[in-house]
Amino acid sequence: MDIKQTVLNYTAKIAPLLIAGAVGATIKRLRKGKMPLRRFLEQLVISAFLAWCLGVVLQHWLGLPNEVIYAVVSLAGMVSDVILDELEEVASNIKEWVTMYVEGWIKKPKKQ
């Protein structure tokens, strides 16, 4: 089997998961009201990634039927904004964490 066919088979397996996650994010946007396009696209990416991870776990480890998996990953897409908020907070604090670590390392007293 060549690599192109392998990629197409894998894509066909995960595409429904990504679509279900995107549906969850879209439903969240409709429920929440007006949302900036950039925020919506960020939420789509996070919900698709979350749906893929969750779908793989439910499919391979628990062996659940596809209908159940699609419903679960769609619900996970609806709560993906909480994960997105946490990731944004972590990203904004990375600079602060690195600065504190470097300052602590530089100001460390030398042993004599």
- pTM attached to this predicted model: 0.57
User: Is residue 21 exposed (0-12), middle (13-18) or buried (19+ Cβ within 10 Å)?
Assistant: buried
The one-letter amino acid at 28: K
Instruction: Show pLDDT as tens, one digit a residue, over the chain (112 residues).
Output: 688 788 777 777 777 766 766 776 676 666 667 777 787 777 778 777 877 888 888 888 888 888 888 888 777 777 777 777 777 788 778 878 888 888 877 776 666 5
Per residue in 48-62, pLDDT (tens digit) is 787 788 888 888 888
Q: How far is 98 from 86, CA to CA, in rounded Å?
A: 18
